[in-house]
Amino acid sequence: MKIFSCVFAKGIRGQFGDNNKLPWKIKEDMIKFNQITTMGTSKNTVIMGLKTFESMGKRPLKNRFNIVLTSQILDIKNDNLIYCSSLDQALDQSIGYPYVIGGVKLLNESFNHSGLQIIYETKVLLPDLQSDVNFTTLIPSNFTLIDTQELVPNVCYLYQHNKN
Ligand SMILES: NC(=O)c1ccc[n+]([C@@H]2O[C@H](COP(=O)([O-])OP(=O)(O)OC[C@H]3O[C@@H](n4cnc5c(N)ncnc54)[C@H](OP(=O)(O)O)[C@@H]3O)[C@@H](O)[C@H]2O)c1
pLDDT tens, residue by residue, 15-34: 999 999 999 999 999 999 99
Give, for ligand 1, the residue of 16, 28, 37 to mutate: max count of ligand atoms closer than 8 Å to Cβ. 16
User: HSE of 37 in the Cβ direction (CA atoms, 13 Å)?
Assistant: 23
Q: Is the CB of 132 under 6 A from ligand 1?
A: no
Q: What is the mean pLDDT of each run of 10 residues along the chain (164 residues)?
A: 96 97 95 96 97 96 97 90 97 98 98 98 96 98 97 94 85
pTM attached to this predicted model: 0.97
What does the pLDDT read at residue 164?
66
Architecture of domain 4-161: 3-Layer(aba) Sandwich (3.40)
Q: Which helix (H) or strand (E) holds 145?
A: strand 143-151
The domain locations on the chain are 4-161
> Ligand 1 atom closest to Cα of 85?
33
Residue 149: which region, alpha, beta or left (left: phi > 0; alpha: psi -120 to 50)?
A: beta
What does the pLDDT read at residue 73?
85
Torsion of CA 17, 19, 24, 27, to 10 degrees: 100
> Ligand 1 atom closest to Cα of 71?
41
- Ligand 1 centroid–CA 55 distance in Å is 9
